Chain A
Amino acid sequence: MKKMIAAISGLVLGALASTVIFADFNGNNNNNKNQSSTASNAQKVYVPFGQKDEYYLFASGGHSGQMFIYGVPSMRHIRTIPVFSPDSATGHGWDKHSRELMGEYNWGDLHHPAFSEKGGEYDGKYMFATDVANNRAAVMDLKTFTVKDILEVPNTGGPHCAAFVTENTEYMFLPTRFAVPFGHDYATLDEYKTKYKGVMSAVTFNEAKQKLNVAYQVALPPWSFDLSDAGKKTSKDWAVMTTYNTELATTEQEINASQKDRDYIVLFNWKELEKMVAAGKYDTVNGQKMIDPAKHRGGIYLVPTAKSPHGVDVTPDGKRFIAAGKLAPAMTVFSFEKAFKAIKDKKFAGEQEGIPILDYESIMEREVNPENALGPLHTQFDDKGFAYTTMFISSEIVKWNVDSGETVDRVPVQYSPGHAVAAEGDTVSPDGKYIIALNKIAKDSYLSVGPSHPESMQLIDLTGKKMEIIQSVPVNPEPHYAQIIKANKVKPIVVYDKDTKRPNSIWNQKDAHISRSGNTVEVNGIAMRSKFIFDAKAERKDVISVKEGDKVVIHLTNIDLDQDITHGFGINSYNLNMEVQPGQTQTIEFTAKKAGTYPLYCTNFCSALHQEMSGYLLVEPKG
């Protein structure tokens, strides 16, 4: 009887408990909870007018050739900075300086932006970027957010594996994605193994001259180099980069470059390479100092790594590098220390193309394989020893412990993240607060604009117990990679200095003049609210008169030294436009090929009388 009572009361208690726990007394309960979490997420990203974001996000613009600047956490798009592609809004590609930088190219494929560094921290002075399409490197001055130099790198076929900057911006390295013969010379694909090379370029930046320069190149085997990272702290003289197509496939790479179970991470010591160059251990190839690693040994080693690795990322303490498997669903943690020891002890497991191969088992610390996590591409870090790896195929970010390999948390993202970027994520001291998923696929997440969809970025809060997406924004193609810098590190100028010694600058309306020498007409003019003055002494000060066939050089100084009073300068029917920022002198050059009458006007709305800010270009026909 006692047993019966116990059993019945147990059942009753169980039913009661289950009712309390599982029954839905209030249909809105869940809904309310969602709403309150949405509201608190909204608060986390809302930055009211007058206040500014905590971080800058510099996102690659991929095949737009541009860079996009966002504020974090608001995720507001602040500005598009043209780098490798012309941009009529700013005149990038039309004014003399940027047109010379652009050369013959009018598009670029900007993949991986990288800040200049000091002591392994972003110093907020410069931003570097590379162009996979046309083998170029660019540097942007963060005082003005304008491109100061673009360098075309020879002997290489698409520096995807770039840019990564060493701890004190000694070098940025540009390993190639596509192997090509030196100088893009003609060679059939049957000669791939012998004639083709996978060249890595070491580029330096001269800050005083604001110029980029190729210091030396390395003729690596014709593999494809994918991603890379520079060492930090104890590993600061070293760098790592991933390879695929060690199969040397020359067609249908999708299949043929995915045959081997292991490709390599190339581990190299740039100090050693520097010494080789100093010792004259190089060949001169198309004007470049080219190191042949088969001929001049040392400084470069191969680390066998699971199948076509994509990202390789150095931990903030500089002690480990982590490969993301792409086709092998695992991250591999390698130890720099163990690698250094193996190199010191010459403990090699053979060599390929004359480059020593390190023994996998002796330097590998751990293979991390979160359950059903597929397509690991890229890893970022926080300030607490956790790694965050994007999973392209399983469309999520996995948080895991670098020391133990244990999976801590996972968050689905929409959809298919390539890279992710953490706040100050590539420095020796990441901030940990946020990570942003740079998603390749947006599908119908936003209002439809037809079949060409935007990409998507998702801001994830890392401060709570669980990772949580707190904002999603559509973005222009294509956020391959980005970097997040603390806003107070960047110190842009407001207007250009009134530099009266600057060549061709005019600061007083009365000094504006037009001069002719031979067939060249040179205009030294000013723009101010709301007029152009090209020739102060002329009856019509805002008219430029030339003869058909003349070369016309126009220097224009914006003498409104007032914040955000930008003037534009467009010439109707002449396909010309540029911007002149307050205090800036810009030059535009063209040949007056078409005779006729062409209005010119301020293209950037400047003032209440902006519409009146115009004049004429009169091109007198040849007699």
Chain B
Amino acid sequence: MKEEGAFAALFSFYEKGVIKLSKTLSIPSVIALCLAAILLITSIFFPWWGMRFYAPQYPEGLDIIVYPYKMAGDIDIVNGLNHYIGMKGFGEENFPELQFLPYIIGILALLTLITAFLRRKSLLYGLIGLFVVGGAFGIYDIHRWLRNYGTDLDPTAPIKVDPFVPPVFGENTLANFVTESYFTYGSFLLGAAFFCTLFPLWRDRKR
């Protein structure tokens, strides 16, 4: 109770412009951080990344769609075709990330909320750091898997192809297939969440 009273007092001082605390986050910044947490949690339920395979026989395209917790699309068909070049099968069981990724996002959302609650700018810097490191690692992880799948090809495969690494983002051509890798809704929400965490840097800049 005592603490709460102190908080209220501090708040009223701030409101009156009696004191300026550049180390404390403003109310709009707090709201932005709460929004970031909501966006993070929401992103779990949307696909983050995908790859679309086009071929003369597949003008409509075949899809691999990656959610933080599952894979969707035409996995069986893509696997059926990939076995000709000796590629391992895609499957949820091959990607341990899908087991714990939602929890990581959950924890990140929680940390964001804690930062919002404590309103400490120093914590925010730490949070932004986590976002950057996490994002970079995520992209690296996708790249790592693409390299793994594209280069670890079964030498007894009926069709021999040179090892290849499809890009994390953009087009690649292999035999009759053109693949198109892309980020999608979940990633957009992540990006939006990241911008929300950057917002306080501008809002509460020193004047």
A positions within 8 Å CB-CB of B: 528-529, 559-562, 608-609, 612
Contact = CB atoms under 8 A, between A and B. Distances in A.
Contacts of A608: 84, 159
A560 B158 contact: no
Contact of A528 (B74, B80, B158): B80
Interface string B128-169: 000000000000000000000000000000110000000000
12 contacts: A528-B80, A529-B80, A529-B81, A559-B76, A560-B76, A560-B80, A561-B76, A561-B77, A562-B76, A562-B77, A608-B84, A609-B158
Interface string B62-77: 0000000000001011
A609 B81 CA distance: 11
B82 to A, nearest CB: 11
Nearest to A612: B158
Contacts of B74: 562
Contacts of A560: 76-77, 80
Given A560-B80, A562-B76, A562-B77, 11 more contacts: A528-B80, A529-B80, A529-B81, A529-B84, A559-B76, A560-B76, A561-B77, A562-B80, A608-B159, A609-B84, A612-B158
Chain B interface size band reads under 10
A405 B153 CA distance: 78
A608 B158 CA distance: 10
Contacts of A612: 158
Interface of B: 74, 76-77, 80-81, 84, 158-159
Main DSSP-derived SS at the A contact region? loop
B76 to A, nearest CB: 6
A529 to B, nearest CB: 5
A28 to B, nearest CB: 44
Nearest to B57: A564
Contacts of B80: 528-529, 560, 562
A180 B81 CA distance: 59
B108 to A, nearest CB: 36
A232 to B, nearest CB: 41
A198 B81 CA distance: 59
A562 B77 CA distance: 6
A612 B77 CA distance: 19
A342 to B, nearest CB: 61
Nearest to A582: B77
Nearest to B81: A529
B35 to A, nearest CB: 40
Contacts of B81: 529
A609 B158 CA distance: 9
Nearest to A531: B83
Nearest to A529: B80
A358 B80 CA distance: 69
A562 B63 CA distance: 12
Contacts of A562: 74, 76-77, 80
A251 B194 CA distance: 94
Nearest to B83: A529
A529 B57 CA distance: 15
A476 to B, nearest CB: 30
Top 5 closest pairs, chain A to chain B, by CB: A562-B77, A529-B80, A561-B76, A560-B80, A609-B158
A528 B79 CA distance: 11
Contacts of B84: 529, 608-609
A584 to B, nearest CB: 15
A128 to B, nearest CB: 34
Nearest to A561: B76
Nearest to B62: A562
A26 to B, nearest CB: 48
B170 to A, nearest CB: 26
A101 to B, nearest CB: 31
A608 B81 CA distance: 11
A268 to B, nearest CB: 52
Nearest to B74: A562
A334 B84 CA distance: 69
Contacts of A561: 76-77
A264 B74 CA distance: 61
Contacts of B76: 559-562
